[in-house]
């Protein structure tokens, strides 16, 4: 009788192992349990398939272990240890969701190639804080329950129960596992190809519709889950490629826009530009905007982790004093979005410098180690015009493999990094003395952005004096998650109304607006108040991506309940503007800035790939017949903006999820199937370019040969 009772406990324990660990996978697939994910629409077929897949993997592990382990107690201990490992893995996959918003995949692991100096500890502590603040400890509930059952059981009696090896049962078990796995994988691939056949979608789709355990087991043993898009789209030769890409090619004297069916051109005229645009007579080219910046220098400034909501919220906006003054003399994109994927900052650079979307589930900068990309780029076009092109960044030169990507893939003449700053006398430990009068230093693991702004002016001035035209790409380093190293320190007195209502992470982020405003000012006004605006130079600013804060703090900040989609829209919306300083000055109290030669506002959707086209046409860069795909930033042409990691899409009237097209903000809008298919096909074609190094040249040559 005693043995029978212990056997009952043993079988209850094994059943609990399967039930609890299968239920725990929903912590990665259901948004109600994990606010950091962007799931697909849940279907009966997908849920049943995932249940089958998860069970088959757990069953496989159990069969293999029970071949070697004969005692009931030892088997229970093994399942307890395995449960802890599985729970721990799900916890860290949830942390990955926190920072990247999508499910982990092996191609995404290249993000960890980056040196972690400066933010590793802060990021780690923020992840551990999730255990408490977001109750992520709950993912360990299967382990806690099984541990409790194990402790309360009669382990001495269980150790006396031994099981004989039954080959027939184990063979039958393995055959059942193989059959379930075959059914699960076959069903998954069918659903995947019918739903959203994109490699950046596969990890989230797979954990939801194949199962967390089979997907990651397949990933780690090298099972290729990638989709061959050329084969899938039936693009068999160069003629097929040309026809497919020509449909989206905007480098044409005449083409019809998909969204409004109107005809546009690669030569923007005033009658198709936004009504509020102002062009100073000194640079006017009659009715045409094409080439009005030709011959000028350019400083392209990459702003780290800035969201547009900092400008939209009254409390933070009123502290961005200089930024608002600068925007009043600029052409401003009010509805601008990032296009980033897993490569985040590097993906922002890719979209602006090449006009291409990143794949979303991997980092092209690290892929460049294995794939010799031949991409058209803004630096290369400027090089063809005899410009000196220079990238300046205060981080390690190996971060995102930039020491190879900048000179080799983009064609920059030089890359000036943290190592160069140090070699020229910058002391990282001492920081940068940005305010001599008050002896204020900015200390961080990287070059201060104050120094970046000062150096940009000094270097640009040397080129101006030499008579050398230039394109300088200056990349700021902060604010960077988890928003440490603010020279102003952590302050609660700036926004006392939010004390104890928002997280420390959000408080640090909004504190950073003072630093951002000061750094922007430093690009144009020195520490002593003198003008350090470069002559005959265009300044273009864009943010790479937003803050990534998805913990409900935005609801507090804007004092209303935000839907998940509205929150994602706000986090993907970033500032961008073009400032063309002239020779006249506008006074703002105790300082002056130069009057802008082009002003206006764009309220239609634009994104980083559109900035690429805008710069090409404003500077009349020598693209010749090369295809590009964005719209002009100053035109009235409608378009869309795609986030390549979450696969959200912004249009002028609404914001939608391509993972679940029924999810639209505002809810009154509907995403048509025609629009969905148009965007999906372009994303698939874009992925082909950034997955194969030679393909862009093949496309350009084929379009020229066929379409002239």
User: Domain range for residue 40?
Assistant: 2-227
Q: Judge if 188 and 117 occupy the same domain.
A: yes
Of the residues 619, 638, 657, the one at which a domain ends: 638
The pLDDT tens digits for 482-541 are 899 999 999 999 999 999 999 889 999 999 999 999 999 999 999 999 999 999 999 999
Whether residue 706 has pLDDT greater than 60: yes
* Confidence class for position 179, pLDDT limits 50, 70, 90: confident
Quick check: 325 pLDDT over 90?
A: yes
* pLDDT of 456 strictly over 90: yes
Q: Note whether residue 28 is domain-resident.
A: yes
- What backbone phi and psi angles, to 5 degrees, belong to 539? -105, 125
CA distance 388 to 382: 8
C-beta separation of 317 from 324 below 8 A: yes
474 — pLDDT class (breaks 50, 70, 90): very high
Judge contact between 649 and 658, C-beta under 8 A.
yes
Confirm whether 599 is domain-assigned.
yes
How far apart, in whole angstroms, are the C-alpha atoms of residue 569 and residue 546?
10
Q: What is the mean pLDDT of residues 290-314?
A: 98
Same domain, 208 and 247: no
Q: What is the pLDDT of residue 133?
A: 57
Answer yes or no: is pLDDT of 109 > 90: no
Q: Where are the beta strands (DSSP E) in 136-295?
A: 255-256, 263-264, 278-279
Domain CATH for 413: 3.40.720.10
Overall domain count for the chain: 2
Residues 172 and 304 in one domain: no
Q: Which pLDDT band, with edges at 50, 70 and 90, does 163 fall under?
A: confident
pTM, full prediction: 0.93
- Does 236 reside within a domain? no
Do 136 and 271 fall within a single domain?
A: no
Give the model confidence (pLDDT) of 209-221 as tens digits: 999 999 988 888 7
Query: ∠ CA(541), CA(544), CA(546), 5° rounding?
Result: 115
The answer on 275 and 128 residing in a single domain is: no
Is residue 126 over pLDDT 70? no
Assigned domain for 237 exists = no
Q: CB burial class (10 A; 0-12, 13-18, 19+) of residue 394? A: buried
Task: State the average pLDDT over residues 693-702.
Answer: 92
What is the rounded (10 degree) CA torsion for 691, 696, 699, 702?
A: -140
Q: 182, 199, 227 — which closes off a domain?
A: 227
DSSP string for 63-119 = HHHHHH--BHHHHHHHHHHHHHHHHHHHHHHHHHHHHHSS---GGGGGGGGS--TTT
Query: If pLDDT is split at 50, 70 and 90, which confidence band does 128 have?
Result: low
Burial (CB count within 10 angstroms: exposed 0-12, middle 13-18, buried 19+), residue 672: exposed
Q: Are residues 259 and 160 in the same domain?
A: no
Q: Is the dihedral of CA 632, 633, 639, 640 positive or negative?
A: positive
**Residue 341 sits in the same domain as residue 451:** yes
Residue 644 lies in a domain: no
593-646 pLDDT, tens digit per residue, is 999 999 999 999 999 999 999 999 999 999 999 999 999 999 999 999 999 999
Q: Are 139 and 87 in contact (CB under 8 A)?
A: yes
Three-class SS string for 162-198? ECCCCHHHHHHHHHHHHHHHHHHHHHHHHHHHHHCCC
Domain stop point among 618, 638, 658: 638
183 with 250, same domain: the answer is no
| Furthest C-alpha separation in the chain | 100
Q: For residue 685, give both structure tokens.
A: 């074609």
Q: State whether 536 and 577 are in the same domain.
A: yes
CB–CB of 198/680 below 8 Å? yes
For residue 678, tell me if it sits in a domain. no
Spell out the residues 6+ positions from residue 127 whose beta carbon is closer than 8 angstroms to its own: 95, 98
Indicate whether 205 and 82 sit together in one domain: yes
Q: Is residue 441 part of a domain?
A: yes
Residue 438 sits in the same domain as residue 373: yes
| Residues 251 and 220 grouped into a single domain | no
Element (H, E) at 49: helix 44-68
What phi and psi values does residue 610 have, to the nearest 5 degrees? -75, -30
Closest listed residue to residue 81, CA positions, set 9, 132, 154, 21:
21
In a domain, 648, yes or no: no
Look up residue 338 and give its two tokens.
Answer: 């990032």
Neighbours of 183 (CB within 10 A): 14
Cα 311 from Cα 603, distance rounded (Å): 15
């Amino acid at each position: 009788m005693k043995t029978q009772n212990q056997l009952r406990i043993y079988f209850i324990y094994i059943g609990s192992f399967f039930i609890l660990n299968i239920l725990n996978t929903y912590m990665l697939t259901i948004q109600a349990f994990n606010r950091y994910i962007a799931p697909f629409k849940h279907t009966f077929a997908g849920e049943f398939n995932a249940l089958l897949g998860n069970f088959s993997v757990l069953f496989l592990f159990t069969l293999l272990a029970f071949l070697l382990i004969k005692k009931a107690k030892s088997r229970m201990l093994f399942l307890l240890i395995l449960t802890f490992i599985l729970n721990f893995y799900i916890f860290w996959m949830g942390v990955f969701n926190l920072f990247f918003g999508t499910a982990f995949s092996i191609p995404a692991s290249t993000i960890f190639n980056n040196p972690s100096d400066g933010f590793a500890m802060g990021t780690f502590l923020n992840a551990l804080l999730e255990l408490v603040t977001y109750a992520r400890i709950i993912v360990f509930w299967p382990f806690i329950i099984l541990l409790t059952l194990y402790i309360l059981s009669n382990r001495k009696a269980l150790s006396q129960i031994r099981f004989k090896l039954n080959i027939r049962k184990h063979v039958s078990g393995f055959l059942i596992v193989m059959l379930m796995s075959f059914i699960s994988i076959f069903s998954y691939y069918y659903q995947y190809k019918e739903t959203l056949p994109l490699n950046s979608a596969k990890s989230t789709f797979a954990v939801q519709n194949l199962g967390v355990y089979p997907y990651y087991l397949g990933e780690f043993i090298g099972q290729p889950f990638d989709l061959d898009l050329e084969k899938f789209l039936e693009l068999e030769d160069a003629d097929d490629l040309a026809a497919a890409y020509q449909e989206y090619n905007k480098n044409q004297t005449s083409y019809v826009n998909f969204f409004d069916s109107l005809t546009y051109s690669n030569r923007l005229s005033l009658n198709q530009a936004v009504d509020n645009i102002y062009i100073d007579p000194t640079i006017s080219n009659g009715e045409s905007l094409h080439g009005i910046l030709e011959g000028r220098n350019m400083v392209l400034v990459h702003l780290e982790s800035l969201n547009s909501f900092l400008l939209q919220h009254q409390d933070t906006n009123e502290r961005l004093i200089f930024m608002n003054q600068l925007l009043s003399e600029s052409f401003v994109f009010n509805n601008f979005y990032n296009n980033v994927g897993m490569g985040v900052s590097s993906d922002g650079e890719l979209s602006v410098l090449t006009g291409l979307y990143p794949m979303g589930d991997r980092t092209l900068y690290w892929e460049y180690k294995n794939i010799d990309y031949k991409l058209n780029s803004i630096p290369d076009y400027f090089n063809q015009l005899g410009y000196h092109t220079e990238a300046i960044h205060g981080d390690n030169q190996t971060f995102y493999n930039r020491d190879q990507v900048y000179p080799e893939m983009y064609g920059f003449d030089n890359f000036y990094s943290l190592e160069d700053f140090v070699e020229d006398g910058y002391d990282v430990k001492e920081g940068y003395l940005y305010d001599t009068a008050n002896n204020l230093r900015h200390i961080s693991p990287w070059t201060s952005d104050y120094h970046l702004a000062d150096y940009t002016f000094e270097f640009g001035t040397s080129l101006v004096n030499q008579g050398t035209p230039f394109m300088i790409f200056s990349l700021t380093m902060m604010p960077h998650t988890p928003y440490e190293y603010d020279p102003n320190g952590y302050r609660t007195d700036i926004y006392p109304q939010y004390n104890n209502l928002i997280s420390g992470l959000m408080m640090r982020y909004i504190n950073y607006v003072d630093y951002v405003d000061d750094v922007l000012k430093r690009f144009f006004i020195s520490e002593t108040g003198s003008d350090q605006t470069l002559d005959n130079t265009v300044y273009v600013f864009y943010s790479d991506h937003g803050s990534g804060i998805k913990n409900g703090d935005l609801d507090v900040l804007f004092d209303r309940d935000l839907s998940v989609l509205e929150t994602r829209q706000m986090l993907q919306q970033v500032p961008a503007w073009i400032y063309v300083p002239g020779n006249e000055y506008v006074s703002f109290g105790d300082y002056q800035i130069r009057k802008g030669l082009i002003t206006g506002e764009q309220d239609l959707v634009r994104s980083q790939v559109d900035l690429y086209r805008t710069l090409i046409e404003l500077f009349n860069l020598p693209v010749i017949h090369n295809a590009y795909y964005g719209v002009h930033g100053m035109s009235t042409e409608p378009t869309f903006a795609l986030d390549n990691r979450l696969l959200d899409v912004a249009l002028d009237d609404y914001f939608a999820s391509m993972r679940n097209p029924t999810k639209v903000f505002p809810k009154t809008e509907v995403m048509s199937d025609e629009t969905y298919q148009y965007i999906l096909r372009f994303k698939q074609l874009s992925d082909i370019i950034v997955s194969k190094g030679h393909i862009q040249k093949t496309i350009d040559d084929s379009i020229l040969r066929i379409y002239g």
